[in-house]
Structure 1
Amino acid sequence: MAGLQVGWIGLGSMGIGMSRNLQKYLSTSAAPPLIFTNRTLSRGDSLKELGAIPVSSVAEVAKKSDIIFSCVSNDAVLQQTANEIIKSGDINGKIYVDCSTVHPETSVAVSKVIAQAGAEFVAAPVFGAAPMAEAGKLIFVTAGPEAATEKISPYLTGVMGKSVIAMGTDHSKSSLLKIAGNICVVSFMEVISEAHVFAEKTGLGTEILETMLGTMFGPVIESYSKRLTTGIYAPAVGDKAGFDVSLAIKDAKHALNCAQSVGTKLEVSEVALKHMETAKSLVDEGRQLDSSSMYGAIRTDAGLDFYTDLCKKRDGKI
């Protein structure tokens, strides 16, 4: 493994943390430094400081790398990235690993064109938000050829993630499991948001509700609650969201599409999607919102301000 060249494509809120951890690992294992690219290359300045090497294009990453990782924003970008990799030249024997959340049909389609070009594709979406990516605590869900998944395993557990859920060779299965997880997460956020608005409107209070959530349901549910009570759901102007609501909307639509295709319903996801879309419509264009911003829409429906007092104080509004 020491002589293999690894490349990285995509430095969004997840990709930057993942790639930094990967470069740290490579620098301590006698391996060549990570090669990376991004639409805005300066986004990788902190990665470059760790010893990684920036290049100007996806094609250059593909030409120089034996194993290529990507983490991109949506299905169209993944398909474009795959096409650029294929057009880069001879990719026979290379492994392409994508960590994005996309529709299962997209994973299958990309796997086919990559295989036709002589390379192997591993679908490896991840569970966890940006702080978990930064901490190297993500959960990978992998699907692809057995030899390829084995070859990339040293870069996953203990490097970018804390564990791997292996889904075999059917590329659609990893995307389906990731979507199922997203159904749970968006549903949790919807219900917790409703409970917080209920607590505020009835006079129960959000602080005691959050204490109950943590005590009864544990740290994960408590962390979702804190996205609301600490103002993460609506970052300050100029700040980035932990997980952008536009990406959460895309993921929810994938879930609803998959459910419809097999004749079932996701009614909580439908409500959550409506509230996320409403939240986007209620703030100034260009302002970042987190995936938990349905809280603001639910507050507004109940006659409360979109922003909590904590948010308004933080933003100098009170």
Structure 2
Amino acid sequence: MKTSLELRLGWIGLGSMGIGLTKNLQKYISADSLTPLHYTNRTLSRGDSLKELGAVPCNTIGELAQCCDIVFSSISDDSILFSLVESFIASGNVAGKILVDTSTVHPDTSRLVNVKLSELGAKYIAAPVFGASPAANAGTVLFAVAGSDAAVSTVLPLLNAMSRKVLRTGEEPRKALLLKTTSNFLMAGLMELVAEAHVLGEKTGLGTTAVEELLQENFGPVIYNDSIRMTTGVYAPPKGVEPWSAVGLAIKDVKHGIDLAKQSDVNLPMGLLALDHLEQASAWGDKNDRDLDSTSIYGVVREEAGLDFETETVKDNCIKHKRSGN
């Protein structure tokens, strides 16, 4: 069997995560002057910076599928994945091809996709990615990976090139999504706690600086990173600025966790609280024509405590962005 570097590689979806991941992948394969990565996206110009690195654009999923042996995907929700798979299948004979989906979808969706592709002789690997867009750009994300051992072994060097670690969760694709869904629930709960800690610090007069230093020194990099996104204003970017991790995706992800909990007769009160705050934040963003980050839970917790949704830092960021002419 050919190694991953002898196979033709393709990528579908260049959102905030996909664009960073693909750049690292293209740099990896071009280092040895190998066949360049092919890519496609709903807005093809989104990949112009990737093209400059040597990658090759394709106009359609079908075109890409027929010229590639391994196809990665990075899309926003389950319905798009189903549509992608239909286009992948309609492209022609897919036997022997490997589809590696890095998206966060419902575990049941991954099971259905696996069955459909297996019937046609193709391999499906669930490889949901952990981290926001800066981590994708830096190549420091995590992957949870599940699929046949042979297929996973083939793509493992490619996943390693885009990440700091790959977590194997077995051969059943839904297991990788179960781990990712659990992680999303944890992240939403941590964001809720960090937001409440900062608001408590501000309302009591302690201040957010002291709280953030405590989080950095005593609670680890994940919580500290959430804190930075809140205190630097990343949680509510200026109009037209893309968030690190969109609030709408967080809502989708937490809903998956709550649905799984119901199926297993488990109560997730923290998940329900986080979902409520995420939905309130999304409504604020819609009302103000702003694309908010998943950490915008902070703005809702602020409002519940009688503070403005936007901190002074957020307001200053918006003024500076407007003055810059963007």
Shorter-chain TM-score bucket reads over 0.9
Moved more, 40-49 or 22-31: 22-31
Q: Is the 2:40–2:57 Cα contact (8 Å) retained in structure 1?
A: yes
Secondary structure in 2 matching 1:144: coil
Shift of 1:310: 0.9
CA contact (8 A) 2:237 2:318 kept: no
C-alpha distance in structure 2 between counterparts of 1:33 and 1:124, whole Å: 22
**Which amino acid counterpart does residue 102 of structure 1 have in structure 2?**
V
Residue in structure 1 matched with residue 78 of structure 2 by the alignment: 75
Aligned equivalents of 1:114, 1:91: Cα separation in 2? 8
**Deviation sequence 1:253-291 (CA, Å, 0-9, x none):** 000000010000111111011011111212335411000
Structure 2 distance, partners of 1:312, 1:30, is 47
- Whether contact under 8 Å (1:122, 1:143) holds in the other structure is yes
Task: Judge conservation of contact 1:98–1:123 (CA < 8 Å) in 2.
Answer: yes
CA deviations on 1:221-268 (whole Å, 9 max, x unpaired) are: 111111100000000111000000000000000000000100001111
Q: Deviations over 1:187-217 (max 9, x none)?
A: 0000100111111111111110111111111
Structure 1 gaps, min length 5: none
Q: What is the aligned partner in structure 2 of residue 47 from structure 1?
A: 50
> What is residue 117 of structure 2 aligned with on the other side?
114
Give the aligned partner of residue 287 of structure 1.
Answer: 290
- Structure 2 vs 1, CA of residues 166 and 96 (structure 1 numbering), >3 Å: closer, same or farther? same
Distance in 2 (CA, whole Å) between partners of 1:218 and 1:118 is 44
Within-5 A mapping of 1:78-157: 78-157=81-160
Q: Does 1:201 align with 2:200?
A: no
Work out the CA distance in 1 between the residues paired with 2:146 and 2:16.
Answer: 23
Q: Distance in 2 between matches of 1:20 and 1:230?
A: 27
Q: Superposition pairs for residues 262-277 of structure 1, below 5 Å?
A: 262-277=264-279
Could you tell me which residue of structure 1 aligns to residue 36 of structure 2? 33
How big is the shift at 1:220?
2.2
**How much does 1:176 deviate?**
0.2
Contact 2:140 2:163 in 1 (8 A): yes
* Residue from 18, 21, 29 that aligns with 2:21: 18
Measure the CA separation in 1 of the matches of 2:284 and 2:225. 25
Contact 2:101/2:128, CA 8 A, preserved across alignment: yes
SS in 2 for 1:72: coil
> Sequence identity of aligned pairs in percent?
47
Question: CA–CA distance in 1 between the matches of 2:165 and 2:53?
Answer: 24
Contact 1:5 1:31 in 2 (8 A): no
Q: How many residues align?
A: 316
CA distance in 2, matches of 1:282, 1:301: 13
CA deviation string 1:110-134 (max 9, x = no partner) = 0111111210000000111111111
Correspondence for 1:187 = 189
Task: Return the letter of the residue paired with 1:236.
Answer: P
- How many angstroms apart in 1 are the aligned matches of 2:318 and 2:27? 36
Partner AA of 2:87 in structure 1: E
CA distance in 2, matches of 1:309, 1:256: 34
Amino acid at match of 2:224: E
- Alignment check: 8 A CA contact 1:4 1:31 kept: no
Q: Measure the CA separation in 1 of the matches of 2:163 and 2:224.
A: 22
- RMSD of the alignment, in Å? 1.1
Q: TM-score, normalised by structure 1?
A: 0.97
* Unpaired segments ≥5 residues, structure 2: 321-326
CA–CA separation in structure 2 for the residues paired with 1:58 and 1:285: 35
Q: Does 1:237 align with 2:239?
A: yes
Question: Match of 2:47, as an amino acid?
Answer: G
- Aligned counterpart in structure 2 of residue 4 of structure 1, from 3, 7, 28: 7
The CA distance in 2 between the partners of 1:13 and 1:115, in whole Å, is 30
Residue aligned with 1:165, SS: strand
Equivalent residue, structure 2, for 1:57: 60
Aligned to 1:261: 263
* Cα offset, 1:30, TM superposition: 3.3
